[in-house]
C-alpha cells in the first residue's frame, strides 16, 4: 500500500487542491497546500473536476476522469481522487479484500469506510493520476520556523541556559541518591559503622535540602519563562492574524481559526518543558545505564530489553493515536464553529423553532470529538497497562537474578549494590519511557506547526507605503506607518481606473472594467439588483480587496503609493456586516480610543440620531452592550455604528445599506446631518428616499457601472425588484 501524506484543507473550497497535494506527495512531489493555494488558486465556492484535471499538469501529473462502480475501485491506479457527496473530494489510498477502503479526507482525516459507507458517499466519478513530466510549480519556503521564533523571543537563550544549569544540578543529585542506600546497607548495617551513619545522615540531609531549593527555583523559573514565551508567541501570531487580508477570513470557519490559534499553547508546552525534559532524560538515562552496566551487565541487559519492548508498543500505538488526535482536532474546530454560529443566529433559530435540530447537529459533532478523545484515552490506557506489565516483569526478573547473584558466592553483588541497582533501574526506565513519550510529542509537534502555519504562512496585508520584504513576511512584525498624506491636504477625489475583479481565476468576473470618479463633496449613489457586486465594489474602493486588474486612486495617486493605512485614516465606512464589540456604547462609538473626545462623541451620536436613545439607557454612554449588541434594536445598533463612522471625522464616507433599519423620519434627519458635513459620500441603497439627495445615481449590473435612467420611476421600480 502506497503511503500518502495527509493534507488538510484550511479553506472551505480547497478540498480539491488538498487532494492533489496528497496524490502528488505519493509520487515524490511534495508541495504544501500553501504552494498550491498561491500558484493554483481554487474557486472560493469549490473546484470542478475539469479544473483539477488542468491543475494536475502543473504538478507533473497526468490525469483522467473515469466513471467507476464502488465494487471496481480496486482496479484504479492508486492513490486516486474520488468525488464525494457531490460537493467534496477525497483521496482513495487503498481497497481491502472485503471491500472496505481507506480514504484521506481533507476535512476530517484518515477514514476506514465499509462498503455501505462508501456507497453512500461516492458519486461514481474518480480521477486517476500518474507521473508525467516535471512540475512547473515552485516550493515556497515556510515563514513559520522554530529557529525564527526562538531567535525573535527576548531572553530565550539565557532562560533556557539557566534552566538547563539548574536541572543539571538536580539530575546529578538524583544520580547520587541511590548511593546512600548502598552505603547504609553495606557499611552501616553490614559493618556496624554507627559513626558513618551520622555523617551520611547529615550529608544527605543537606544534600536533599539543596535539591529541594534547586527544584523550587527551577519550577519558578520554568513557569515564568513558559508564560512569557506563550504570551510572546501568541502576541506575534495575533498581530499577524489581524493583519491578514479580508479574504483569509471569508473562506474559513471562525471556530477552526480559533482552534488553530490555540495550537500555540501546545507548541509552547512542547518546546519549554517537554524539550528540556527530553534532553535531560536522554543524557542522564544513558548515565544511569552506564552505572548499571558497571554493577551488572546481565541485569542491565534485562532492563534495556524491557525498555525496548515498551518502545515497540509505543510505536505500534502511535499511528492510531495520531490519527485519532488529528480527527479530534478537525471535529473540535467544526464543533466550535457550529457553537459560534448558533450563538450568533440565536434569534432566527428561535423564530424558526429549530433549536432542537441545531442541538442535534451539535451533539453529532460533539459525539465525533468524544469518540476520538475516547479512542485516544483507550489507547493511552492500553499503553499504560502494557507498560505496567512490561516493567513489572522486568522488576521480577531483576530481583530474581539479582538475588541469585547476591546469594551465589563470588558473584560480586552485595545487598547494598542490588538496592542501588534497583534505584538506578527505576531512574533509567522512568527516564527512557518518558523520553519515548516525548519523542511522540515531538512528532505531534509537526501537526501543531502545520495547523498554525495556515495562519503564520499567509502573507499579511500590505498597508504601508514602503514595507521591507523581510518585515512584510514576518508574522507579528508590525512596521511603522508610512507618512502618507491621504488624510491631510489635497482634494479627496476618489477614482477607479479600469477596475476588474474576481475572487479566483476560475470564477466569473464580478467587476468588468469599471471607470469611476467621485469628486470632493459629491454624494454618489450606487444601485443595482441584489448579488450584482455592490458590496464587493465598495470593498475594492476601501482597499479591503485589491482589484484583479486596474487601480484605485485617491487624490490622484494609487492608494498603495501613500499606503492603504494612510488612505483608511481618511475614509470611514458602515458595511452590512458591521458589528458592535463587547464594551460600552461610548467605547463602540469611539472604537476604544485610549483618550476619547467626549464632545465629539456626543456630536457624532446626535448626527447619527442616536443621542436621545443613548441618554435613556440605564447608564447612558456607559451602558454595556454584548458582542452582537443584542440588548439594542437593529436600528439602534446601526445608528451607533454610523456614529462610530462620523466620530472618525472622515473625508470620505462609504455607506452600504447603512440606514436600512431606520424609519423614514430618522433617515431624513441623518441624511440632513451628513449633507451639512464637508465630506464625500458613496451610498449603496435600495430605498428611493435614501438616495434622493444624491448628485449622481449609477447602476451596477453585469459588472459594469452606468448612469441610472428613468429618474424616480426607475428608483421605485428598482426598490421593488
Instruction: Report which of residues 126 and 452 the model is more confident about.
Output: 126
Boundaries of every domain in the chain: 14-131, 146-457, 494-719
pLDDT, one tens digit per residue, over 432-472 is 888 888 776 777 777 777 778 778 777 888 777 544 444 44
| List of residues 6+ apart from 145 with CB closer than 8 A | none
**Predicted pLDDT of residue 717:** 57
Instruction: Report which of residues 476 and 425 the model is more confident about.
Output: 425
**Predicted pLDDT of residue 300:** 92
**Predicted pLDDT of residue 477:** 38
**Predicted pLDDT of residue 82:** 92
Q: What is the arrangement of strands in the sheet containing 101-105, beginning at the earlier edge strand? A: 61-67, 122-131, 80-84, 88-95, 101-105, 109-113
Region 518-525 average pLDDT: 90
Instruction: Report which of residues 616 and 491 the model is more confident about.
Output: 616
pLDDT, one tens digit per residue, over 391-437 is 999 999 998 998 888 888 776 778 888 888 888 898 889 888 888 88
CATH topology of domain 146-457: ABC transporter transmembrane region fold (1.20.1560)
Quote the mean pLDDT of the chain: 81
Q: How confident is the model at residue 485 (pLDDT cuts 50, 70, 90)?
A: low
**Predicted pLDDT of residue 143:** 64
Angle value at C-alpha 221, between 219 and 223, nearest 5 degrees: 70
Q: Is 563 strand, coil or helix?
A: coil
Instruction: Report which of residues 65 and 181 the model is more confident about.
Output: 65
**Predicted pLDDT of residue 481:** 36
pLDDT, one tens digit per residue, over 203-237 is 778 877 877 887 787 777 777 777 777 788 888 88
The secondary structure of residue 615, as a DSSP letter, is: H
**Predicted pLDDT of residue 537:** 92
Q: How confident is the model at residue 486 (pLDDT cuts 50, 70, 90)?
A: low
Q: Where are the beta strands (DSSP E) in 587-634?
A: 624-625
501: its cell numbers: 475583479
Q: Looking at domain 14-131, which of 3.30.70.260, 3.40.109.10, 3.90.70.10, 3.40.47.10 is its CATH number?
A: 3.90.70.10
Region 264-268 average pLDDT: 79
**Predicted pLDDT of residue 144:** 65
Residue corresponding to grid cell 445598533: 637
| Helix pair 254-261, 415-456: axis angle to 10 deg | 140
**Predicted pLDDT of residue 36:** 82
pLDDT, one tens digit per residue, over 231-244 is 888 888 888 888 88
pLDDT, one tens digit per residue, over 548-568 is 999 999 988 898 887 888 888
Dist. CA 132–CA 135, nearest whole Å = 9
On whether the CB atoms of residues 429 and 303 are closer than 8 A, the answer is yes
CATH topology of domain 494-719: Rossmann fold (3.40.50)
How many CB atoms neighbour CB 112 within 10 A? 13
Kindly tell me if the per-residue pLDDT of 43 is higher than 60: no
Percent of the chain with pLDDT over 70: 87
**Predicted pLDDT of residue 107:** 82
Length of the chain: 721
**Predicted pLDDT of residue 44:** 55
Q: Do domains 146-457 and 494-719 have the same CATH topology?
A: no
pLDDT, one tens digit per residue, over 283-330 is 888 888 988 898 889 999 999 999 999 999 988 888 788 778 878 877
Amino acid at each position: 500500500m502506497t503511503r500518502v501524506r495527509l493534507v488538510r484543507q484550511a479553506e472551505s473550497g480547497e478540498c480539491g487542491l488538498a487532494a492533489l497535494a496528497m496524490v502528488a506527495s505519493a509520487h515524490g512531489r511534495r508541495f504544501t497546500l500553501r504552494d498550491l493555494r498561491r500558484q493554483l488558486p481554487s474557486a472560493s465556492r469549490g473546484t470542478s473536476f475539469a479544473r483539477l484535471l488542468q491543475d494536475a499538469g502543473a504538478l507533473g501529473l497526468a490525469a483522467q476522469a473515469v466513471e467507476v462502480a464502488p465494487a471496481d475501485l480496486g482496479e484504479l491506479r492508486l492513490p486516486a481522487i474520488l468525488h464525494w457527496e457531490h460537493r467534496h473530494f477525497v483521496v482513495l489510498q487503498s481497497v481491502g479484500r472485503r471491500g472496505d477502503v481507506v480514504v484521506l479526507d481533507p476535512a476530517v482525516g484518515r477514514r476506514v469506510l465499509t462498503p455501505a459507507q462508501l456507497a453512500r458517499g461516492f458519486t461514481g466519478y474518480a480521477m486517476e493520476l500518474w507521473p508525467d513530466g516535471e512540475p512547473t510549480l515552485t516550493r515556497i519556503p515556510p515563514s513559520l520556523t522554530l529557529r525564527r521564533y526562538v531567535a525573535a523571543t527576548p531572553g530565550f537563550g539565557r532562560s533556557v541556559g539557566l534552566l538547563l544549569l539548574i536541572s543539571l544540578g538536580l539530575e546529578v543529585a538524583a544520580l547520587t541518591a541511590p548511593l546512600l542506600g548502598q552505603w547504609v546497607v553495606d557499611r552501616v548495617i553490614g559493618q556496624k559503622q554507627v559513626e558513618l551513619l551520622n555523617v551520611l545522615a547529615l550529608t544527605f540531609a543537606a544534600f536533599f535540602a539543596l535539591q529541594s531549593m534547586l527544584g523550587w527555583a527551577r519550577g519558578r523559573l520554568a513557569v515564568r519563562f513558559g508564560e512569557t514565551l506563550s504570551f510572546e508567541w501568541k502576541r506575534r501570531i495575533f498581530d499577524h492574524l489581524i493583519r491578514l487580508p479580508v479574504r483569509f477570513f471569508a473562506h474559513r470557519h471562525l471556530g477552526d481559526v480559533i482552534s488553530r490559534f490555540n495550537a500555540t499553547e501546545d507548541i509552547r508546552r512542547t518546546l519549554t518543558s517537554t524539550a528540556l525534559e527530553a534532553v535531560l532524560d536522554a543524557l542522564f538515562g544513558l548515565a544511569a545505564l552506564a552505572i548499571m552496566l558497571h554493577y551488572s551487565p546481565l541485569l542491565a541487559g534485562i532492563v534495556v530489553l524491557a525498555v525496548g519492548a515498551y518502545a515497540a508498543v509505543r510505536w505500534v500505538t502511535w499511528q492510531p493515536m495520531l490519527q485519532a488526535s488529528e480527527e479530534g482536532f478537525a471535529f473540535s474546530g467544526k464543533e466550535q464553529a457550529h457553537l459560534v454560529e448558533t450563538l450568533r443566529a440565536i434569534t432566527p433559530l428561535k423564530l424558526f423553532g429549530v433549536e432542537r435540530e441545531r442541538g442535534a447537529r451539535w451533539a453529532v459533532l460533539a459525539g465525533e470529538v468524544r469518540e476520538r478523545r475516547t479512542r485516544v484515552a483507550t489507547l493511552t490506557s492500553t499503553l499504560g497497562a502494557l507498560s505496567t506489565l512490561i516493567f513489572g516483569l522486568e522488576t521480577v526478573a531483576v530481583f530474581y537474578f539479582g538475588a541469585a547473584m547476591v546469594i551465589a558466592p563470588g558473584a560480586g553483588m552485595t545487598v547494598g549494590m542490588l538496592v542501588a541497582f534497583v534505584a538506578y533501574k527505576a531512574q533509567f526506565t522512568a527516564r527512557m519511557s518518558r523520553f519515548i513519550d516525548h519523542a511522540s510529542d515531538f512528532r505531534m509537534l509537526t501537526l501543531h506547526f502545520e495547523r498554525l502555519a495556515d495562519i503564520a504562512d499567509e502573507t499579511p496585508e500590505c498597508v504601508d507605503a514602503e514595507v521591507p520584504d523581510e518585515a512584510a513576511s514576518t508574522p507579528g512584525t508590525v512596521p511603522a506607518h508610512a507618512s502618507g498624506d491621504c488624510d491631510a491636504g489635497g482634494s479627496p477625489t476618489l477614482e477607479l481606473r479600469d477596475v476588474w475583479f474576481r475572487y479566483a481565476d476560475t470564477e466569473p468576473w464580478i467587476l468588468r472594467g469599471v471607470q469611476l470618479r467621485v469628486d470632493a463633496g459629491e454624494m454618489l449613489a450606487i444601485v443595482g439588483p441584489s448579488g450584482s457586486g455592490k458590496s464587493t465594489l465598495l470593498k475594492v474602493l476601501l482597499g479591503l480587496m485589491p482589484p484583479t486588474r486596474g487601480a484605485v486612486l485617491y487624490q490622484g495617486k494609487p492608494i498603495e503609493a501613500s499606503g492603504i493605512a494612510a488612505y483608511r485614516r481618511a475614509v470611514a465606512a458602515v458595511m452590512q456586516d458591521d458589528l458592535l464589540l463587547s464594551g460600552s456604547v461610548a467605547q463602540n462609538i469611539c472604537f476604544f480610543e485610549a483618550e476619547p473626545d467626549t464632545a465629539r462623541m456626543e456630536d457624532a451620536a446626535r448626527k447619527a440620531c442616536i443621542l436621545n436613545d443613548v441618554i435613556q439607557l440605564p447608564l447612558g454612554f456607559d451602558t454595556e452592550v454584548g458582542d452582537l449588541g443584542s440588548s439594542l434594536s437593529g436600528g439602534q445598533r446601526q445608528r451607533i455604528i454610523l456614529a462610530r463612522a462620523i466620530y472618525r471625522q472622515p473625508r470620505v464616507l462609504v455607506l452600504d445599506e447603512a440606514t436600512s433599519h431606520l424609519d423614514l423620519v430618522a433617515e431624513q434627519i441623518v441624511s440632513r446631518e451628513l449633507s451639512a458635513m464637508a465630506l464625500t459620500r458613496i451610498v449603496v441603497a435600495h430605498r428611493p428616499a435614501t438616495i434622493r439627495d444624491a448628485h449622481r445615481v449609477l447602476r451596477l449590473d453585469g459588472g459594469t457601472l452606468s448612469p441610472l435612467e428613468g429618474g424616480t420611476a426607475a428608483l421605485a421600480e428598482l426598490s421593488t425588484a
